Amino acid sequence: MLAAVLVIFLAAAIAPTLHRLLPAFSHWLLALVPAGVTVWFAQFLGPVSGGETVLQVVPWVPALGVELAFRLDGLSLLFALLVTGIGTFITAYAGGYLHGHEHQGRFYLFLLAFMGSMLGLVLADDVISLFVFWELTSVTSFLLIGFNHEDGRSRRSAVQALVVTSLGGLALLAGLVLMGLVGEGWRLTAMEASGIDFRAHALYLPILVLILLGAFTKSAQVPFHFWLPNAMDAPTPVSAYLHSATMVKAGVYLVARLNPTLGGTEVWTYTLAAFGTVTAVWGGLMALRSTDLKKVLAYTTLMALGTLTMLVGLGTEYALKGFAVFLLAHSLYKGALFMGAGAVDHGTGTRDVNQLSGLWPKMRLTGLFILLASLSMAGLPPFFGFLGKELMYEGMLEAGSTGTFVLVGMVLANATMLGAAGLVFVKPFLGKPSQAAEHAHEGSPSLWIGPAVLASLGLAFGLFGSLPAPLMGAVTSAVAGTAKTVDLHLWHGLTPALGLSAVTVALGAALFLGLRGVTAALGGLARASRVNFDAAWDHVLAGVDALARAVTNLLQAGRLSRYMLLTIAVMFALPGITLLLRGGFAMPKAEGWAEPLGWFLCFLMLLGTFGAMLATSRLAAVTALSISGLAVALFFLAYSAPDVGITQLMVETLTVIIIVLVLAKLPKFGPSERTDAATRLVKLVVAVAAGGVTTAILLSVTAQPLSPHLSDYFAAASYVEAYGRNVVNVIIVDFRGFDTLGEITVVAMAGLGVLALLKARNAPKPEEDAAAPRLDPGKPMTGEAD
Amino acid sequence: MHSLILRTGTRLLLALMVLFSLFILWRGHNEPGGGFIGGLIAAVAYSLVALSFGVAEMRRMLPADPKTILGAGLALAIVSGLFAVVGQGGLLADPYMASRWYISYTETGEKGFAIGTPVLFDIGVYLVVIGGILAMVRGLMEEL
């Protein structure tokens, strides 16, 4: 399984080069990679449907017990097949859709990298690797959504998706680490098998909240849903892939995956059912209000994600069966619809349903596949979507009172799907041909082959329910944690679920026929409620910006004296406060206090310091300071540290040389440098405090008996092991050589840094705007109150 | 700066100081000294040239640009640590920067000439210090 993931990443790495060499065939060649991986995974269909689980473990960070562990059970296999199978068609589709785009090779790179990450995510059995793949999908999807990076809206949407999902990602990481602590290991299979009761643990609630934050942001549950419709700024292959079958389902995958360990409690059921139902209804209603084909589909995706979350929450046998079937059904029809919508856009130049009409004669193939997929979305027999909806209703009826609570919402949500199906097929394809339909034309095979296969599968699985049934059983077993089997039949008698389906269809038809009124009512509702998540996002972002600016202005005033003041204040406040709080101050024994040489050198240092303070010219100040520096050097020489003494002497000399170089160019040391009394008082306090803290620390340190351990070791080992009699130098170049390597790197960086700063100062200034290093949030969306 | 005294002094001092800095570098392993101090002394010597004769003259007297010297020194220091990793004892037998020595013994068994990777490392330090400081000096004189 590791090989399968790596092969896709490898394909991503060579994609741009391959595209440069063979621009006409690259998409077909690249599509062979996920196709091969799909076939490879398909061989596991038999064993996994039979209840087997395949495991693969590769040591990764053995010191921390982190492994690269993969697990293939029903749930992983279904997702793996979706990721690679739909990925195959998307890769081919992207070749047709982006034909001639200058960054097509780059697009394949991003797309395949995303595919590899997503595949890793659904296969990972180790929570750490799961998290790493999870974040990789966030990063790669950021690149994909922002693919048209010259468009401000794309950039804004990409940043929005990244920030929302990675905020959730941070919460998820915390939740997974807590889970690992409770479960005494990082492996999910081990946690499931260990018999540890997570639900009774004191950390259950924190774990649940953190993990659900991750899942809800990723799967765009209300109130984190707003990034998903905005992400439709991405090229259509991205929407068809990420926002139908893969990335947004990662959150759903996660809750399903953790259902055996964390699920089944009241908090779990109510949280998931409530958030899921609200998201489903919201998504369905918003879909009816939208006029952009892709937006319609994005909102119906919200509905599907909400439904799936709700079904895991209910957790009854039929609900989980419904989860499995609806998951597959949705991926099939949504992938087909997105690709179909892209083909319409490609053929007519617009995705606005108000401008599209009567496309049927011009785009029969695309129209046919959109029709098949919409019927599945509408949940009409004999399509696979119908089976999903029936099982869903069975599950809700089975769940008793909780089920009744969501039942009303779900009937409405499913009805809106019927309306949305009308929006994506009836409106654009039937009726009198509109202006946009005049030049409509069918695209290349790569544009319709994906929808063809996916939509036909939606019909085939509905007609021959025994085909997908074994895998659906394995998925249900994986989510439930116990073995289950699924039988799929179109007809199973006059049941209450069938009755609910009939109500749904009637309601849906009414919604579509009265669409104008419904849209107006919804618009009025949206205006009245004044809930606009997208605008709220802008406010939050502006607030963060303002805070950052305020902090930056406070800390980085652009004056050297301010930087010094802050740095010194912080540097000495922390140890000073610690010294006070811990009561660590101690006076050393009064030995050697009466040494005249020491006192004389101290006097010299003080002389230099006061001289510098009272100096009226810079040159005088520098000279006075160097008196202090030389006195320090003498100190080292007098107390047998000749190496340090010579170094100090040289540094003093160089300091004077460098200051002299700068001095000549500085403005006069005049009244402008004289500050008011208050500022001087602050500086005085900081200076005295810094000196005091240093003195206190040095006194306390020397009060301790000096451990001879290290110095004895170095003195003894210096000649024997390192062939050097100068212990100081042997420490620098040998015993602690690695430290020195770090230090000389700093010296090198400082030298280059000074050079770069000076050069930048004299470089010709570029345009003011272009130079401003500022994240452009782009233009906020207008119109649609979300 | 057109100071006759400084120019004359520098002329005499430059060679002496550079030689002295090499001497300090070499003897550092057994007596006070070493790459850091040696590098500082050499940097002072060349800074004196820059002050008295101008930065162009300093550049002419240096074997390479300060940035190049700096990079070469850093590279040398990094490479010196690799001897332990790829040398005798097989690949990765010793940690990075473990020292390696070549020591010749006289016929009577007395220790003679000895050289090891720490010396290379120290030369790297010497060059980085010279390069780093002279890069600053040059930058200040040329760009300010």
Name the DSSP class of A335: H
Interface confidence (ipTM) of the complex: 0.89
- Paired strand residues for A71: A55
Per-residue pLDDT tens digits for A107-130: 999 999 999 999 999 999 989 999
Residue A370, both tokens: 């959109």
Residue A665 in this model has a pLDDT that exceeds 90: no
Query: A 615-654 residues with CB below 8 A of B?
Result: 642-643, 646-647, 650-651, 653-654
Residue A498, both tokens: 């069938």
Query: A 738-777 residues with CB below 8 A of B?
Result: 738, 740-741, 744-745, 747-748, 750-752, 754-755, 758-759, 761-762
* pLDDT recorded at residue A305: 94
Rounded to a whole number of angstroms, the CA Rg of chain A reads 34
- Round to whole Å and give the CA distance between A732 and A747: 15
* pLDDT recorded at residue A289: 86
On whether any CB of chain A is under 8 Å from the CB of B95, the answer is: no
Contact A750/B144, CB-based, under 8 Å?
A: no
* pLDDT recorded at residue A771: 43
The 10 Å CB-count burial string (b at 16+, else e) for B93-126 is ebeebbbbeeeeeeeeeeeeeeebbbbbbbbbbb
On whether any CB of chain A is under 8 Å from the CB of B70, the answer is: yes
∠ CA A180-A253-A54 to the nearest 5 degrees? 75
Give the 3-state DSSP-derived string for A572-598, with helices as H, strands as E and coil as C. Answer: HHHHHHHHHHHCCCCCCCCCCCCCHHH
* pLDDT recorded at residue A664: 75
Which of A272-276, A491-495, A497-501 shows the lowest mean pLDDT across its residues? A491-495
- Round to whole Å and give the CA distance between A91 and A81: 15
**Which candidate from A657, A741, A762 shows the least CB-CB separation from B77?**
A741
A369: closest CA among A399, A343, A392?
A343
Query: A 712-741 residues with CB below 8 A of B?
Result: 722-726, 728-730, 732-734, 737-738, 740-741
Task: Please provide the average confidence, as pLDDT, over all residues in chain A.
Answer: 87
Residue A139, both tokens: 């990063």
Residue of A nearest to B139 (CA): A755
Contact A747/B71, CB-based, under 8 Å?
A: no
- Round to whole Å and give the CA distance between A241 and A89: 9
Rounded to 5 degrees, φ, ψ at A104 are: -60, -40
* pLDDT recorded at residue A310: 93
Question: What average pLDDT does range A413-418 have in this prediction?
Answer: 91
Per-residue pLDDT tens digits for B38-71: 999 999 999 999 989 988 999 998 989 999 999 9
**Looking at chain A, which residues constitute the CATH 1.20.120.1200 domain(s)?**
560-707
Q: Could you tell me if A126 and A132 are in contact, meaning their C-beta atoms sit under 8 angstroms apart?
A: no
Ramachandran area for residue A723 (φ above 0: left; ψ -120 to 50: alpha; else beta): left
**Which candidate from B81, B121, B137 shows the least CB-CB separation from A658?**
B137
Closest CA–CA distance from residue B110 to any residue of chain A (Å): 14
On whether any CB of chain A is under 8 Å from the CB of B71, the answer is: yes
Confidence bin at A661 (pLDDT 50/70/90): confident
Residues of chain B positioned with their CB less than 8 A from the CB of A656: none
Per-residue pLDDT tens digits for B8-33: 999 999 999 999 999 999 888 788 88
Residue of B nearest to A722 (CA): B99
* pLDDT recorded at residue A674: 60
* pLDDT recorded at residue A783: 40
Question: What average pLDDT does range A349-369 have in this prediction?
Answer: 87
Confidence bin at A670 (pLDDT 50/70/90): low
∠ CA A642-A645-A647 to the nearest 5 degrees? 110
Percent of chain A, pLDDT > 90? 41
- Round to whole Å and give the CA distance between A91 and A180: 37
Residue A114, both tokens: 């995303």
Per-residue pLDDT tens digits for A37-49: 999 999 999 998 8
Per-residue pLDDT tens digits for B74-93: 999 999 888 877 766 666 66
**Domain A560-707 indexed as CATH 1.20.120.1200:** yes
Name the DSSP class of A326: H
Confidence bin at A562 (pLDDT 50/70/90): confident
Residue A308 in this model has a pLDDT that exceeds 70: yes
Residues of chain A positioned with their CB less than 8 A from the CB of B128: 744, 747-748
Residues of chain B positioned with their CB less than 8 A from the CB of A728: 32, 34
Which of A98-102, A305-309, A745-749, A782-786 shows the lowest mean pLDDT across its residues? A782-786
Confidence bin at A66 (pLDDT 50/70/90): confident
* pLDDT recorded at residue A556: 82
* pLDDT recorded at residue A67: 79
Per-residue pLDDT tens digits for A151-203: 888 999 999 999 999 999 999 999 999 999 998 888 888 888 888 888 888 99
Which of A442-446, A602-606, A607-611 shows the lowest mean pLDDT across its residues? A442-446
- Report CA torsion sign: A522, A526, A529, A532: positive
Q: Could you tell me if A476 and A347 are in contact, meaning their C-beta atoms sit under 8 angstroms apart?
A: no
Which of A419-428, A512-521, A565-574 shows the lowest mean pLDDT across its residues? A512-521
* pLDDT recorded at residue A327: 94
- Round to whole Å and give the CA distance between B11 and A470: 92
Residue A749 in this model has a pLDDT that exceeds 70: yes
Contact A754/B128, CB-based, under 8 Å?
A: no
Q: Which residue has the higher pLDDT, A546 or A101?
A: A546
* pLDDT recorded at residue A777: 45
- Paired strand residues for A72: A54
Residue A251 in this model has a pLDDT that exceeds 90: yes
pTM strictly above 0.80: no
Contact B128/A728, CB-based, under 8 Å?
A: no
Contact A650/B143, CB-based, under 8 Å?
A: no
- Round to whole Å and give the CA distance between A446 and A89: 8
